[in-house]
Chain A
Amino acid sequence: MLEVRNLECVRGDHRLFTDLNFQLEGGELLRLRGANGSGKTSLLRTLCGLLEPAEGEVLWRGENIRAQRDEFNAELLYLGHSNGVKAELTAFENLRIHNALCGRRLPDDRLYDALVEIGLGGREDLPTQVLSQGQKRRVALARLLLSDAALWVLDEPFTALDVDAVAQLARLMEAHLQRGGMVVYTTHQEVEMRAGACREVNLDR
């Protein structure tokens, strides 16, 4: 489904990795390993099509993602370093607007339910600038509950989360894999994950 061929990534004058090849099928989990600055984030952003690879290509269902951007984006959920949450808007507004922009029309109840489930009950209607770092992260994570994307690309999803939230996110990822979804993620935390197929790509070579 997701295939990476001969990928090379260059940032500035520095070559981060070359000749990277891997394939990911439905239900598979891929963890990227590597030291700080080894190119994990760059690889994730390349997988999403935010970064143009210096060499090689990223294929989704057999076709280059650059040739089918809208179709690929409809099946992609990316959670980057920054949360992508507007500080002036409330958690609920952030979620509603994100869904509307994706072209999904969901009833308000489902959005509130998702926010309660992710642990933001009672704080749905506060501007996110008054929330803590971890709570802001949760606003971003609430997207995972409402998304029907097949591919989740998560960059350090566990940062700023407390123990319960880490466990909850791990369960969410497991459930997504069981539904036949794919997850690519990076983390420096050791989080137990029960998944059918766990794969690793190490960028320190």
Chain B
Amino acid sequence: MNGINETGAAVQPSLMSAWRAMILRDLTLAMRRRADVLTTLFFFIIVVSLFPLGVSPEMAVLREIAPGVIWVAALLASMLSLGRLFSDDFQDGTLEQMLLLPQPLSVLVLAKVLAHWLVSGLPLVLLSPLLGMQLGLDGEAIGLLMLTLLLGTPVLSLIGSVGAALTLGVRGGGVLVSLLVLPLYIPVLIFGTGAVDAATSGMEYDGHLSLLGAFLVLAALLAPLATAAALRISAE
């Protein structure tokens, strides 16, 4: 009895501090390589800005397609940043060391994905109101768009981490990741844009948000396990 208490008390703080250390490590690395983060962000802005030029500058048209355009751009931008999630660690051997840590790998993977989302997903969410205004969305729709992105982009990072882990060390992995991951992004895209569309046409959108929330919970539970398994295979 005593022994169980002791190990329980000894293991958990160390796991928590390892978790924190992993997030801080990845955030520090991102800060030291700011160019990578900014590339994703500018990609997002540019893709969205191409639509008024390419489709039509008509406000009515833009308002109609705005949620879809912003969501697709966010999807592509978050995929663009996936390559960096594990490949640098794989190159310099820190991934190998990570596999040999006395901590559950899936928990550390979750920390890495969270850090990745903070630098590549969250900025997209924060920037979306500006792009929404550019495409003529009204205040309510912009708020909802932000909410769907806030719920949806972590799902993209989580699903993407599985793809990134599977294609680690594969030549042309970047293209392969897109093929693997993009089909899995579709449900998130449908319900993310669906919520905003429903709101602008005066319908209920609670169901869409609940489903996005459910996707997030499911992905947070399952994706780290799959990613951890994939990393072990790729590291062989």
Contact = CB atoms under 8 A, between A and B. Distances in A.
A50 B99 contact: yes
Nearest to A46: B236
Given A70-B103, A103-B15, A103-B102, A86 B96 contact: no
Contacts of B100: 48-50, 73, 76, 78
User: Residue among B25, B29, B98 with the most chain A CB within 10 A?
Assistant: B25
A97 B26 CA distance: 11
Given A70-B103, A101-B103, A50 B33 contact: no
Contacts of B103: 70, 101, 103
Contacts of B39: none
Interface in A87-121: 87-89, 93, 97-98, 100-105
Chain A interface, DSSP helix/strand/loop, else mixed: loop
Interface string B192-236: 000000000000000000000000000000000000000000011
A100 B21 contact: yes
Contacts, number: 81
B169 interface: no
Chain B interface, DSSP helix/strand/loop, else mixed: helix
A95 B94 CA distance: 12
Contact of A88 (B20, B32, B98, B235): B32
Contacts of A89: 25, 28-29, 32
Given A50-B99, A81-B93, 14 more contacts: A48-B100, A50-B235, A52-B236, A78-B96, A83-B92, A84-B92, A85-B94, A88-B28, A97-B21, A98-B97, A101-B97, A101-B108, A103-B18, A127-B32
Query: What 7 A-B pairs are tightest by C-beta distance, nearest first?
Result: A103-B14, A82-B93, A100-B21, A74-B102, A84-B93, A84-B97, A88-B32
